């Protein structure tokens, strides 16, 4: 498939979903429910998911759509397909509920298990990011596309690091302390953390958790970070395999090549805390 055509269709779908999300965001009743303990879902998640399925099914016939709010039976066997779409209709649902503005509509496209095209639409912030492998990464506005690139920092002591606002533990905090960065910046949404690294606004995104990571949380930001010259892996340096299980690996680490390698080295020196 032509990646620029794919990107254009993902941007259109994300923009349409963002309008749904912002309509619900303005309402007093967000329709909050719990899918599981500590795992909320809102009416925005459900309505945006339905719209994205409709648009993406039309634009990408036969391509499996691995979406967070869909029945897993609808994307069973996705790993054997040559292409795939990974959708998080509202990434950062807790921030959506808390009205921090740090949430995003995320759509990623994969080829042979590799993330190659991504869109992260941050409607409350008025920011849209997109990328296609081979064409670079961009901040997209009405005025056009502005190329973005990861930070060129090489010294962690001078760096600002995006970290989770809600998902923290003694083990995570011990490893973050070992980084020795200038500042830890709590940030909502995996997608927003990713685009902050891709744009150079922050230097490194570190979530050194042992918890499994969902592929709809990684696909779009990984495509954008990689197209912006960075590396996006789990917290042990393992790549995400978009042909594999929906939940895989442990934590997340994104940065330029130098910072990524140094962060992995420092994480390895920290004993696990229980």
6-31, pLDDT tens digit by residue? 999 999 999 999 999 999 999 999 99
Q: Identical fold at 3-148 and 156-267? A: no
Question: Residue 208: which of 229, 233, 228, 227 has the closest Cα?
Answer: 233
Cα distance between residue 22 and residue 134, in whole Å: 32
Question: Which residues have CB under 8 Å from 43's CB, separation 6+?
Answer: 24, 30, 31
Strand partners, 65: 85
CATH of 156-267 among 2.40.110.10, 3.20.20.80, 1.10.1060.10, 3.40.190.80: 3.40.190.80
pLDDT confidence band for 169 (50 / 70 / 90): confident
Q: For the chain, give every domain's residue range.
A: 3-148, 156-267
Q: What is the mean pLDDT of residues 238-267?
A: 97
CB–CB of 11/128 below 8 Å? yes
| Alpha carbon 238 to chain centroid, angstroms | 16
Q: What's residue 274's pLDDT?
A: 65
**Superfamily designation of domain 3-148:** Fructose-1,6-Bisphosphatase, subunit A, domain 1 (3.30.540.10)
User: Is 5's pLDDT higher than 90?
Assistant: yes
């Amino acid at each position: 498939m032509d990646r620029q055509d794919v990107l254009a269709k993902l941007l259109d779908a994300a923009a349409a979903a963002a309008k749904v999300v912002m309509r619900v965001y303005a309402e007093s009743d967000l329709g909050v429910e719990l899918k599981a303990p500590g795992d909320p879902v809102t009416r925005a998640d459900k309505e945006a998911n339905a719209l994205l399925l409709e648009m993406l099914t039309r634009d990408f016939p036969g391509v499996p759509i691995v979406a967070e709010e869909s029945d897993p039976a609808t994307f069973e066997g996705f790993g054997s397909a040559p292409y795939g779409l990974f959708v998080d209709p509202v990434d950062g649902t807790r921030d959506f509920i808390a009205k921090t503005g740090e949430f995003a509509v995320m759509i990623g496209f994969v080829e042979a298990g590799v993330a190659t095209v991504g869109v992260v639409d941050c409607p409350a912030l008025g920011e849209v990011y997109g990328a296609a492998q081979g064409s670079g990464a961009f901040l997209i506005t009405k005025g056009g596309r502005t190329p973005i690139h990861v930070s060129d920092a090489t010294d962690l002591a001078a760096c600002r690091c995006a970290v989770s606002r809600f998902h923290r533990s003694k083990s995570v905090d011990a490893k973050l302390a070992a980084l020795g960065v200038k500042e830890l910046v709590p940030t909502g949404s995996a997608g927003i953390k990713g685009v902050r690294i891709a744009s150079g606004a922050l230097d490194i995104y570190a979530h050194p958790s042992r918890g499994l990571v969902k592929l709809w949380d990684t696909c779009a930001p990984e495509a954008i970070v990689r197209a912006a010259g960075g590396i996006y892996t789990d917290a042990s340096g393992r790549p995400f395999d978009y042909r594999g299980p929906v939940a895989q690996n442990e934590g997340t680490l994104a940065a330029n090549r130098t910072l990524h390698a140094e962060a992995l080295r420092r994480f390895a020196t920290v004993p696990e805390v229980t």
